Structure 1
Amino acid sequence: MSDRRNSAQDDASKHSYRMIVALEDVADKSFDYVIAGGGTAGLTLAARLTEDPNTSVLVLEAGGENVDDPLLLRPALYGAHFGQDMYSWSHQTVPQKHADGQQMPWARGKGLGGSSGINFFIWNKPPAEDVNDFERLGNPGWNWEHLHEEVRHVEGFTRPPDEMLQQNKVRPGLWQLGSEGPVKVAFPPAIDAIDVAFHEALFKLGIPPAPNPMGGDPNGFFLGPSSHDAKTYTRSYATTAYYLPNKDRPNLNVLVHAHVVRVLTAPAVHSNELTATGVEFLFERKRYAVNAKKEVLVCAGALKSPQVLELSGIGDPEALKKIGVPVNIDLPGVGANVQDHLLISMGFELKDNPSHLTFDMLADPAIGAEHLRLHESLRGLHTRGMNGYAILPVNALTPNAQKIYENAKSSVAKKLPTASPGLQDQYKIELSRLKYGRPGTEFIMLAAHFSQPNPPKPNKKYISLHAGNFHCLSRGTIHCTTADPMQDPAYDPHCLEEDVDLQILVEGMMYLRKVAAMSPMKEIISQEVNPGPLVEDGNYEQMRDFVKKHLWSCWHTSSSCSMFPREKGGVVDPSLKVYGTTNLRVVDLSVIPISVAGHTQAIVYGVAERAAKIITGKLDVLH
């Protein structure tokens, strides 16, 4: 994909940026709401809060504006933003001792729109029961019914033509998508035969079509839409959906290249809590402050929100002591309970067939130019996406499911006595998910070479089949190692610390080999490239080694500022207010208390929409 990346970077270099507001309009000034982070959640909140013309909002975004940039808008450029400082933060985990010592890339979106501007366009929803687990963990009202209602308000789904529906057997359950929302959601104008073959092979292996993949029951295989605008087949993300339509509101202020350092606090007047009075931020290496008359809203994402809180003196006293930050609020849950989705990929070279379109083809300059021309008439690869999915329980993949459950149960039993009350509750839910066959393993088909370690050959077409574990038992940490805000915290997801997480991924890979060997997939595939000969068929130990070496993150890190009761290790209450404060909230993926079996883009929008109602008093979740 490097040629496509370089081509897109050439496009991006032609783009010029402007300041949205100037520093002098912000420094030492006062706004009703100050939002730390102009990503997915931050821009959603800003748009909703400024619907009231009497409410002033300031968004501080550490990256640039990046508006109308082809590299962000054009589909099919999967991964082209990673490693480019203008578009992504190149975060890395610490070496993962249970994953062959590798440091896993944790890239995140940099600039307005955050990760919604560089993600892989996937729009799907988790099982309803996964979201209901939020409520089971002590958060009244945070359930599927309410969160799904918010997500439907976000969705601007365009129904595809009947011919495409009939040809690809798209099920009616997909119509549980909103059609009037600002984030555009669409299927491609055509589904490639490879996606259809993938699902036919799963069906022959006994996997059913999902009953209601967008309505809370994705158990099975399904075709999923993308966050594409069907009118242009370009990316629909927080910038196009929430910022650009509202950018001229006089009460909406955005300062880019403003890196939030910490929240400023003072003792509350009528309680022993703290009140957030503003934030401190860096602009061109100098520190400035801005005042908040009502609230400070931290929307820096699961990787950075814990850092902002710790540098504000809010967190585990031991962690704060190590970096020399005085304790303002003793809150040990900050930076704890970190969860992630793990993925492992298999690569297959396809037999020569000119009718198959794969994204590898764009590496050829002539073909790349042709598909840019095709895109103008809404055809070609830049209208395609990742559309073939399956979300399954472990017992659908392997007869070893009961053994895996028993192993997990035994491991949890050893940890329960020393686990926090909140983690104890999570362990019980995770075991229940395994025992009762709740779907938590995802299979995805991508029509491109996206696997390791063997590289692609020139002029060949590839597909990648991915197995993901979205219900991992392992729990990690994110803690600052220094008081320098420009230094990343130590990102330690503790990948594969619980061996059951590895066992499930291995079973997923074994199952994908069965899928590849089943008609009609076997008629399409020429050879397996990765793992290929590195793993003999049926050799479990070799597959374990392969997974540990080539595992990667799905970039869905969550729960580092979890919504739990405070006595159970929580950081925010059900109104997303930080414990011990009167007016400081966290609004991003860090607040969900337990991970879900689904890609997280829609969840983040839903959390932000619900937060806006809470903040403006339209919804009272505490009474």
Structure 2
Amino acid sequence: MPSMWPLRLLVALSLLSTNVLSHVPSDYLLQRRQLLARGYVTEDTVADSYDFVIVGGGLAGLVLAARLTDNLKTTVLVLEAGSSGEDVADRVNTPSGAYTASLLYTPNDWQYKTVPQPLAGDRRFDWPRGKVLGGSSAVNAMYLVRPAEIEINAWADLMKDDDRAAASKWSWKEFYPAMLKTETFTPPLDEVTRVGNISWSADTHGTTGPMQVSYPGIMMAQVGGWAPSLESLGLPPLRKPNGGTTLGSLVGPSWINPSNWTRSYSKAAYLDPVLSRSNLAVLTSSQATRIIFAEGSGDLRATGVEFASSPNGPRKIVNAKTEVIISGGVVGSPQILMHSGVGPKNVLEAAGVDLKVELPGVGQHVQDHLTAPVVWKATSETAGDITQSGSDFAKTKEFLSFVNSATAFANLTRLFGTEGAAGFQKFIADGLEDSASKLVPSQSKEVIEGYKAIYDTIANKIMNTEVAVIELLLALNTPGEVGVQAALQHPLSQGRLYINSSDPFEAPIIDPQYFSHSADLTIMREGIKLVRALKQTPPFNESLGEETLPGPDVVSDEDVERWLINMASTQYHPISSCAMLPRSKGGVVDAKLRVYGLANVRVVDSSIYPFEFASHVGASTYGLAEQASNIILTNNSLPTNAVKGLAIPSLFTLGALVWTTFFAVSVGAGAFIP
């Protein structure tokens, strides 16, 4: 007979908590929220010092906050320029809101823009980034698409000559488990699997992580034709998606909590469950303006972070006793380094910032995924039509959980044929020196060498393999339309971003140099051809009526290229402004994420990837933050499992914890930290 002690313990704890809570006022839920929110501090209540100061409460920053405070002897402050997001929680938590009620172009978005791009129609591109706790994980489209094993190993190879042991942390063998650690996977509903014709594998997902991973509560009929049509076009469905092989098609999972059909993101999953920890503080609406360093020789030691709530507000300093960790994202991280005097000498001098450490790679090597859609009139009802209908079904949580998730990945061989791909890859590889001499937006020898290293990796370790260069994405959220985007995955164009003022509240200059390398335009052109082939490919083509974009007048290669120059937009995946590369190659951080020339400052976010992956950025960045947490704790001789959950200082809290656990499991958008 099985033991009854777990049930008896649960009953005893429930009775204990009930007895304790019988003396609690009727507004207990309000008190509970106050208990969990005690981690929020103000400028008046923030302590003078913390062991770790995390600059940025975005995707990576909140993972770090949760993992570092596992050790109750370690104090952590998160500095976030945006709000907590509580006032827009419904828009964040509703998955379909990413398409129908987006927070982009609101105060919860940094609303960055590039400078005019001369090779892309002289247009200024929007670069939205989340300005709220959770960062872009609170506003993105929730795709979970991991990189290929080949790509991850190529990343590690770039660092192995500098520090083989540290570089191994970024190999597939060690990085893949870090990505799995972040998530708890729930299979799709049977009806969703049937309608969407979905192939999935629990083997390639985690089972105990904070992030909830699943599929929407409903599925649109058009999705069912995706896999068989892509297979007819030479891209068979992946039988184990997200397991290291990416060439093919998939209807992928998303960051969705199937218990209540809400968005799972870093605030809900990592931060909210630990906000009552006494060693964690979160200060919102406060922008870091610079890092403070101690005087001395050798690598500079950070002693604190200066911050302010507004451009004209008073500047205050919080001390960092152990480390400063920068998690400001692809724009914010190089920006804070440069305003702290760390970066290219010529940039800092022109901006009027005193040089502390000359590091020419800060803000360099910037890359981004570009995308463009083919759009047809829909011959059947789309999610956009249902949204517009105002029906009772359109208001259900199940329907509001619907997000786009059908994708496919194609390599050079699929785009050009075997001989054409070999010739195109050779053309690219042979052009390395010429491109390095003409296309690098820096005179630094180190940055030029870094450009070559990245270019060589893409040309000779990516483009001649089964790794994709184009992603196809199905979009069903516009009434009366079916769209399929072709997105460039391994751009050879590299740009930069830099400050041109000493005012940290002034947005930096962003110049990605889109289409500066001609191969990017050629690959996108072939991607559009592949998308258009779907019109002749059953059964997916049964959903497609007349093509409205690019339209029947765009026919020749030259027509398509002209159209792309004036139509392509960002896929919202910029990376590499603080690249993990050797210092001799314009790198900003080493394989332990430490900023070169600084003794105790690291960068942990998507800015450190040295080249783009054929994937979406979120999945790898959660893994990056998990891996970084282990590195930081190990390097500072701190146990990684000192506490699992919340501190329990009293009998009252024990009772409250029981009920809080039940409450969070039933309604929370995330999961408890394992």
Superposed, 1:81-480 pairs within 5 Å as 81-139=102-160, 140-141=167-168, 142-162=170-190, 164-165=192-193, 168-173=196-201, 175-268=203-296, 272-284=298-310, 285-351=313-379, 353=380, 356-364=381-389, 366-367=390-391, 370-372=393-395, 374-375=396-397, 379-380=398-399, 382-399=400-417, 400-416=420-436, 420-432=448-460, 433-449=462-478, 460-480=479-499
Distance 1:161 1:358, change over 3 A: closer
For 1:343 and 1:174, locate their aligned partners in 2 and report how far apart those are by CA, in whole Å: 30
Alignment size in residue pairs:
580
For the 8 Å contact 1:151–1:605, the answer to whether it is kept is: yes
For the 8 Å contact 1:211–1:220, the answer to whether it is kept is: no
1:617 maps to which residue? 634
For the 8 Å contact 2:145–2:616, the answer to whether it is kept is: yes
2:89 maps to which residue? 69
For 2:314 and 2:172, locate their aligned partners in 1 and report how far apart those are by CA, in whole Å: 44
For 1:552 and 1:167, locate their aligned partners in 2 and report how far apart those are by CA, in whole Å: 31
Residues 387-424 of structure 1, C-alpha deviations (whole Å, 9 max, x = no match)? 21111102112334344324423432313467632222
Distance 1:421 1:174, change over 3 A: farther
Distance 1:106 1:82, change over 3 A: farther
For 1:168 and 1:89, locate their aligned partners in 2 and report how far apart those are by CA, in whole Å: 35
- How far the C-alpha of 1:131 sits from its partner, in A, is 0.9
Between the aligned residues of both structures, percent identity stands at: 33
For 1:206 and 1:441, locate their aligned partners in 2 and report how far apart those are by CA, in whole Å: 14
Aligned AA (2:601): L
1:555 maps to which residue? 572
Aligned AA (2:91): L
For the 8 Å contact 1:279–1:291, the answer to whether it is kept is: yes
Residues 345-370 of structure 1, C-alpha deviations (whole Å, 9 max, x = no match)? 1111111x3xx342343234x23x64
- How far the C-alpha of 1:112 sits from its partner, in A, is 0.3
Give the TM-score normalised by the residue count of structure 1.
Answer: 0.89
Aligned AA (2:484): L
Distance 1:475 1:143, change over 3 A: same
Tell which structure's C-alpha radius of gyration is larger: 2
Q: What stretches of structure 2 of length at least 5 have no aligned partner?
A: 1-36, 161-166, 438-444, 638-674
1:12 maps to which residue? none
Aligned AA (2:505): M
For the 8 Å contact 1:170–1:222, the answer to whether it is kept is: yes
**Secondary structure at 1:201 match in 2:** helix
For the 8 Å contact 1:174–1:213, the answer to whether it is kept is: no
Distance 1:161 1:617, change over 3 A: same
- How far the C-alpha of 1:110 sits from its partner, in A, is 1.0
For 1:531 and 1:48, locate their aligned partners in 2 and report how far apart those are by CA, in whole Å: 47
2:543 to 512, 518, 524: 524
**Secondary structure at 1:303 match in 2:** helix
**Secondary structure at 2:282 match in 1:** strand
Aligned AA (1:276): A
**Secondary structure at 1:512 match in 2:** helix
2:655 maps to which residue? none
Matched, 1:581 2:604: no
Q: Which has the higher strand share?
A: 1
For 2:190 and 2:41, locate their aligned partners in 1 and report how far apart those are by CA, in whole Å: 46
For 2:567 and 2:94, locate their aligned partners in 1 and report how far apart those are by CA, in whole Å: 28
Distance 1:619 1:136, change over 3 A: farther
Aligned AA (1:64): S
2:619 to 588, 596, 602: 602
Q: Which moved more, 1:75-84 or 1:220-229?
A: 75-84
Distance 1:588 1:360, change over 3 A: farther
For the 8 Å contact 2:91–2:103, the answer to whether it is kept is: no
**Secondary structure at 1:445 match in 2:** strand
1:452 maps to which residue? none
**Secondary structure at 2:588 match in 1:** coil
For the 8 Å contact 1:315–1:334, the answer to whether it is kept is: yes
For the 8 Å contact 1:317–1:330, the answer to whether it is kept is: yes
Q: Which moved more, 1:46-55 or 1:412-421?
A: 412-421
For the 8 Å contact 1:213–1:219, the answer to whether it is kept is: no
**Secondary structure at 1:304 match in 2:** helix
Give the TM-score normalised by the residue count of structure 2.
Answer: 0.83
